[in-house]
Chains A and B, each alone.
Chain A
Amino acid sequence: MKIALFATCIVDAMYPRTARATVAILERLGHEVVFPSGQACCGQMHVNSGYFKEALPVVANHVKAFDTEDYDVAVAPSGSCVASVKHQHEMVARRCGDAALEARAAVVGAKTYELSQLLTDVLGVTDAAEQLGSHFPHKVTYHPSCHGMRLLKLGDRQLDLLKSVGGIEMVELPEAEQCCGFGGTFSMKNADVSSAMMADKAANICGTGAELCAGGDASCLMHIGGGLSRQGSGVGTMHFAEILASTLENPATVPGNVQLAGSKR
């Protein structure tokens, strides 16, 4: 299968390792990965902040980059960005009165998958140790991000994949479904409430005794990791793609503090 990678702006710029891990997993399964070079961002930050006018060219750029027949499916290692592509792009186009863009956005949205969704529903991965050679001998807890859980209805897909990794010890996170408090510009506009939510999430994570917290959204992980780091907890965060990409031969390093992945950058 020919798979177009949507790296998302934050992964591209801040956590390239997550995108590289995504490529590694898909290629290990024998698929061809392409990277539409015109891509930049899904525009979620603009939309969620009410800047529809500014969102339009961002949405148009994404649609242009992915509006080609030359791949079978598109994938992104981010629930919230996929939710934006699937649920917001048409709305932005409609609101700005661009019917042609709206129609093209619908086509792109229908072809776009979140990584665990693609692995589970399309590529039939149920056992990461067996099918991907995933090995990660660490104690890990897992936070399901809101947009993946509620907008994409990912259910336990990410968690089930993690549980099937060789050597891993998964521990349950209390109040896992509570929002971590990131919410894009919410973390700036309502910094106090956001911090209070993050503090509760961090306390729950530390209470599990896990070495790190895994998740499927770089932005939430940056938020949680940033809090854990400020508290000097020594507990890190990591994208589930990097755990899946880790093997016995090439193990991923366990991050501490705010780093999302291995210490070498």
Chain B
Amino acid sequence: MSNTFLGMPTLPVFGHGNLNATEKFPKAAHRELGDAQLRANLGHATHTIRDKRLKVVAELPDWEDMRDAGSAIKNATMARLPALLEQFEANFTARGGIIHWARDAQEANEIVTGLIRATGETEVVKVKSMATQEIGLNEYLEEQGIAAFETDLAELIVQLDHDKPSHILVPAIHKNRRQIREIFLREMADVDPALTDEPARLAEAARKHLRKKFLTAKVAVSGANFGLADTGTLTVVESEGNGRMCLTLPETLITVMGIEKLLPSFADLEVFMQLLPRSSTGERMNPYTSLWTGVTPGDGPQNVHLVLLDNGRSAALADEMGRTALNCIRCSACMNVCPVYERTGGHAYGSTYPGPIGAILSPLLTGIKSEENSSLPYASSLCGACYDACPVKINIPEILVHLRGEDVDSKRAKIKVPSQMDLMMKGAQWAFSDGAHLNLLEKGLPLGKLAAGRDKVIKKLPGIAAGWTQSRDIPAPPTQSFRQWWDKEHVAPAAVERSQDGSRNTEGEQA
């Protein structure tokens, strides 16, 4: 379709907010790799969660069937998302809730601010939420003179330290408890100066710090793990109880939820309440699951709002190969098993969504056009560990490759001078699309021996291949390729020998 129709918005509408990488991944990764403490913290944490997850997943004999079910329910949801959203809206509204639609981060932030302003409050408590991270709500509210207090322990640590989350489930995964104690002592006005770095003492300090806020806050802002279309119910799954407090004590509750978080029916929760806790925290069940359906007179918040956020999700949905990325339930299993994430940490990905899912989701939501974003799909060795771990079977490696294709094509259209990589690929295309071409090239193999020198290894290559030789040698190539050996030694004599004893012994040439 041509996009020149007047009055029509340009499609697709991409997302904004904390989704764009601000520097290219290799550069960011280089910096983060230099932080030995970060690597130690991350290695320890990811290995612990990884092992826990494997143990509890192994307990369920039907785990693979459950993954299939999760994947099927999500695919069915995406296939009729508009209808389900309307069904959800009708049910949510019928129960006394109010729905707001936000096309992008800016609109969502404005809506939330307007709702808070209407209450006359200048402070809100917050339940951990990826959607509000994505749109940069806390920062926006601060500019508007509204203070937002994170109540999730890890989220609080990051907020107090004026840092950014580096993991979607354990935002402070890059910090150890010694560092956390320092942050509390420095940033919490009411902290006990004798605080130690025992986890229980740290949690106690946070609890005391937050209690006042819980009891006085009139407005809470949350995200939602699931929205159930057939009942108009919202769900938050958590483990500290802070969410339950925020969702029940205040008078006004404002939830921001991505439009992809729907499940068709209440019954579908059965599958996801098994998949999510086991995949995310390695627990059989999370301690707190809160469900609310509109307003209950005299009980809980009497002002219940939901901001339904697009912010690039429609654009991702329009990508036939990439749309399954929207099936993500934000469990973080993929980043916990990712060897790249384990070494670079979440900040290297620039976006609210790090790790394997971030490497596909960020470019899908925001478009692959920017240099920085387009480096994300290459931040993977395609080892496939993420696909194996994902509870809803998102084929992340396949989508990474698809997005690399989009990137190559978009650059091809834009830049007229081919890059080193383009030239290398072009050359390899010639060599690899005809056995005779490869053979011709292989005749030059003895030259490689010269390049290798006395110790029979190549230690330095130029151009884009220089990265390889920064830490790895390359063996001197052999003087004869396999096909040359085959032509010379095998084909002709084989015919003769085979007629004698039916088989041929090649081991002689092995030794």
Chain A residues with a Cβ under 8 A of chain B:
7, 9, 11-17, 19-21, 23-24, 27-28, 30, 32, 35, 37-41, 43, 45-55, 57-58, 60-61, 65, 95, 146-147, 150-151, 177-179, 181-199, 222-223, 225-227, 229-230, 242, 245-247, 249-253, 257-260, 262, 264-265
How far is it, in angstroms, between the C-alpha of A192 and the C-alpha of B511 when the chains are bound? 38
Is there contact, CB below 8 Å, between B33 and A193?
yes
Q: Is the CB of B378 within 8 A of A186?
A: yes
Contact A17 B471 (CB under 8 A): no
CB distance from A176 to the nearest CB of B (A): 13
State whether the Cβ of B82 lies closer than 8 Å to any Cβ in chain A.
no
Q: Which of B438, B465, B475 contacts A12 (CB 8 A)?
A: B438
A51 to B427, CA, bound (A): 12
Q: Which residues of B contact A24 (CB under 8 A)?
A: 505-507, 510
Which among A50, A54, A60, A183 is the interface contact of B426 at CB below 8 angstroms?
Answer: A54
Which residues of the other chain, B, contact A11 by a CB distance below 8 angstroms? 482
Is B503 within 8 A of A49, CB to CB? no
A111 to chain B, nearest CB (A): 19
Would you call B472 an interface residue if the criterion is a C-beta within 8 Å of the partner chain's C-beta atoms? yes
* Cβ A9 vs Cβ B438 within 8 A: yes
Interface centre among B379, B409, B498, B503 (most CB of A within 10 A): B503
B474 within 8 A of A: yes
Q: Which of B340, B383, B456 contacts A146 (CB 8 A)?
A: B383
List 8 A–B pairs whose Cβ atoms lie within 8 Å, in order of A's numbering. Answer: A17-B510, A21-B510, A54-B426, A55-B429, A58-B432, A150-B385, A179-B381, A191-B471
> Which residues of chain B are near A227, meaning CB under 8 Å?
471-472
A123: shortest Cβ distance to chain B, in Å?
A: 14
Which residue of B405, B434, B507 contacts A245 across the interface (Cβ within 8 Å)? B507
Contact B431 A23 (CB under 8 A): no
CB of B408 within 8 A of CB of A49, answer: yes
In the complex, the answer to whether B442 meets A12 with C-beta atoms within 8 Å is yes
Closest to A8 in B: B482
The A-contacting residues of B in range 17-58, CB under 8 angstroms, are: 25-26, 29-30, 33
User: A40 touching B408 by the CB < 8 A rule?
Assistant: no
The reply to whether the CB of B480 lies closer than 8 angstroms to some CB of chain A is yes
Say whether A27 contacts B504, CB under 8 Å. Answer: yes
B contact set with A: CB distance below 8 Å: 25-26, 29-30, 33, 339-340, 343-344, 377-385, 387-388, 401, 403-409, 421, 425-426, 428-429, 431-438, 441-442, 445, 456-457, 459, 464-468, 470-483, 485-487, 490-491, 498, 502-511
Choose among A23, A51, A222 the residue that contacts B474 (Cβ–Cβ < 8 A).
A222
A12 touching B481 in the complex, CB below 8 Å, given contacts A21-B510, A51-B425: yes
Question: In angstroms, how far is the closest chain A Cβ from the Cβ of B378?
Answer: 5
Distance, CA A19 to CA B436, complexed state (A)? 18
**Residues A50 and B510 in contact in the complex (CB < 8 Å), given A13-B477, A30-B503, A259-B475:** no
Contact with A250, one of B25, B464, B511 (Cβ below 8 angstroms) = B511
Question: With A and B bound together, what is the CA distance between A51 and B419 in angstroms?
Answer: 13
Report the bound CA distance from A192 to B381 in whole Å: 12
Which residues from chain B contact A61 at a C-beta distance below 8 Å? Answer: 432-435
Contacts of B508 in A (CB 8 A): 250
Please determine whether B343 and A265 come into contact, CB atoms closer than 8 angstroms: no
- In the bound complex, do residue A16 and residue B510 qualify as a contact, i.e. CB atoms below 8 Å apart? no
CB-CB nearest in chain B for A20: B506
Chain A residues lying within 8 Å of B442, measured Cβ to Cβ, are 12-13
Name the distance in Å between B491's Cβ and chain A's nearest Cβ: 8
Q: Which of B383, B435, B509 contacts A20 (CB 8 A)?
A: B509
Which residue in chain A gives the minimum CB-CB distance to B435? A38
Q: Are B510 and A262 in contact (CB under 8 A)?
A: yes
| Choice from B408, B434, B481 contacting A16 with Cβ under 8 Å | B481
* A248–chain B nearest beta-carbon distance, Å: 11
Most buried by A among B33, B379, B382, B510: B510
Q: Please, which residue of chain B has its CB at the minimum distance from the CB of A11?
A: B482
Residue of A nearest to B348 (CB): A193
Distance (whole angstroms) from the CB of A260 to the closest CB of chain B: 7
In the complex, the answer to whether B507 meets A40 with C-beta atoms within 8 Å is no
Q: Is the CB of A183 within 8 A of B380?
A: yes
A26 CB, nearest partner CB in chain B, Å: 10
- The answer to whether B506 and A58 touch across the interface, beta carbons within 8 angstroms, is no
Q: Contact check: which of A60, A197, A229 meets B433 at CB < 8 Å? A: A60
- Asked if residues B478 and A14 are in contact (CB atoms below 8 Å), the reply is yes
Which residues from B are CB-within-8-Å of A13? 438, 441-442, 445, 477, 481-482
* Chain B residues, Cβ within 8 Å of A19: 482
**CB atoms of A188 and B467 under 8 A apart:** yes
Residues from chain B with a CB closer than 8 A to the CB of A54 are 425-426, 428-429
Contacts of A12 in B (CB 8 A): 438, 442, 481-483
In the bound complex, CA of A250 to CA of B435 (Å): 31
In the A-B complex, the 10 residue pairs with the smallest Cβ-Cβ separation, listed nearest first, are A191-B467, A183-B381, A50-B404, A226-B472, A179-B383, A41-B432, A16-B482, A150-B384, A57-B433, A195-B471
> Are B456 and A259 in contact, CB atoms less than 8 angstroms apart?
yes
Given A35-B486, A183-B381: A192 and B433 interface contact (C-beta under 8 Å): no
Q: How far does the alpha carbon of A14 sit from the alpha carbon of B500 in the complex, in Å?
A: 33
Inter-chain contact A182/B432, CB cutoff 8 Å: no
Supply 12 further A-B pairs (C-beta < 8 A) apart from A48-B404, A150-B384: A9-B438, A12-B481, A24-B505, A30-B503, A35-B486, A40-B431, A41-B431, A46-B432, A186-B380, A188-B465, A189-B378, A230-B459
Q: Complex Cα distance A245/B509, Å?
A: 11
Residue in B385, B429, B457 whose beta carbon sits within 8 Å of that of A57 in the complex: B429
Contact of A192 among B33, B380, B432, B491 (CB under 8 A): B33
User: Contacts A179-B383, A190-B378 known; A252 to B511 CB distance under 8 Å?
Assistant: yes
**Residue of A48, A183, A194, A265 touching B478 (CB-CB under 8 A):** A265
Q: A262 CA to B478 CA in the complex, in Å?
A: 12
B412 to chain A, nearest CB (A): 8
| A190/B510 in contact, CB under 8 A | no
Complexed CA–CA distance, A157 and B356 (Å):
29
Q: How far is the CB of B336 from chain A (nearest CB, A)?
A: 13
* Cα distance, A32 to B379, chains bound together (Å): 43
In contact, B29 and A192 (Cβ under 8 angstroms): yes
A118 to B449, CA, bound (A): 34
Q: A9-B438, A183-B383 are in contact. Are A189 and B504 (CB under 8 A)?
A: no
CA–CA, A42 and B482, complex, Å: 16
CB distance from A201 to the nearest CB of B (A): 10
A40–B432 CB distance below 8 A: yes
Which chain B residue lies CB-closest to A194?
B381
Which residues from B are CB-within-8-Å of A53? 409
Q: Is the CB of A20 within 8 A of B510?
A: yes
Query: Which residues from chain B contact A253 at a C-beta distance below 8 Å?
Result: 511
> Nearest Cβ in chain A — how far from B394, in angstroms?
14
Residues of B within 8 A of A43 (CB): 432
